[in-house]
Amino acid sequence: MIKSLLSRNYFYAVTTLVGTIVGVGVFGLPYAFAKAGFFVGLVHLVLLGSVTMIIHLMFGEIILRTKERHNLPGYIEKYMGKRWEALISFSTLLGIFGSMIAYILVGGTFLDILAVKLAGISDVPNYIFYISFWLFLTVLIFLGLKTIEMVEFGMTIVLLVAVAGIAFFSAPHINIDHLFEFSALNAFLPYGVILFSLAGTVAIPEVREILLGNEKRMKSAIVIGITVPMLIYGLFTFVIDGVTGVATTPEAISGLGAVVGWPVYVLGALFGILAIATSYITFGYYLYETFLLDYGINKLLAHLLIAVVPISFVLFGLRDFIAIIGFLGAVMGGFEGITMILTYFKAKKMGDRNPEYSLKLPHFVYYILILTFVLGMVYTLAYGA
């Protein structure tokens, strides 16, 4: 077991999933928790984390029940038909491009913070930082999967150190009373933000690729790869809400830095850039493979679409990242979850490969999950993210 956990590919598989999940959504969590009440948010996190883990394990089993390799739309088409594939393709493309837009916005903002705090640069327009951040990550996407594995591994380790550093510098400023504030009016607010912050479905095919020939480790890699982000989110939110309470800012770091000082500004911005970069790279490469494998688009056009679409929306004025992630998490994430459950049922009957693991959950669990996603989508569409 220990030898298995220490294997390089196993670490790459886990860190790929962790790096994909821990993205821009983490910076919306403290604000959502603070508005609803920290412990209300914590209950959301545990419940939705469990839901997400089941969905990811279901996708992993779908992949392992299928001989040929696809990304999500290809598996949906195989088991659900072209109409469902078209719907999930639209949902996936909208979700990933929307996420990449949010990543550029927040990543550029944190790059700006680093420039001001470390280099004293304060007169550069925001769009320069957006473009710089986007350009760097786009180049990494084009370098391919092996580069992404190395980047994910290194960035995830530094990311964990950054979280520990933020906790260390902020701990003396924590006021436990802040954690007991509560608002029934905002009790549902964390739902969409948490679902978005836990999204990592796009990395599951990569986990299989990394563990190719050793797929028996895939289940535990998925479980650990989701548990680690949940722990990071719990610690990160506890620290920030404990320090700033109801005064927590939407992106978390500026409010925290105003109380704790420049070390948190720098560590927070560094953490932000690393967390966002790992997810952006994986999402971009996932889109690239989807365009090639599932849509037959040539390499040049696939590269152009991935590079041009997100930065174009940013430069043309789409700038509200909180609204983006709340909608994507509740609506796009909910639809994807429902589709995954339906596809899972089909794959168990129609799969052409014996999987290395198979879930043994009572059927009523799946119906509860579907109802949860439906109610979340309806609420968000009716009342906003």
Length of the chain: 385
Write out pLDDT tens, residues 37-82.
999 999 999 999 999 999 999 999 999 999 888 888 889 999 999 8
Alpha-helical segments (H) within 37-81: 38-64, 72-80
Both structure tokens of 57? 């394990």
Q: What is the DSSP letter of 331?
A: I
What is the predicted pLDDT for the residue at 121? 72
Range of weakest confidence among 27-36, 283-292, 333-342? 283-292
pLDDT of residue 217: 92
Euclidean distance between CA atoms 152 and 139, whole angstroms: 15
Of residues 185 and 370, more confidently modeled: 370
- Placement of tokens 């327009």 in the chain: 125
Let me know: does 167 contact 256? Beta carbons within 8 Å.
Answer: no
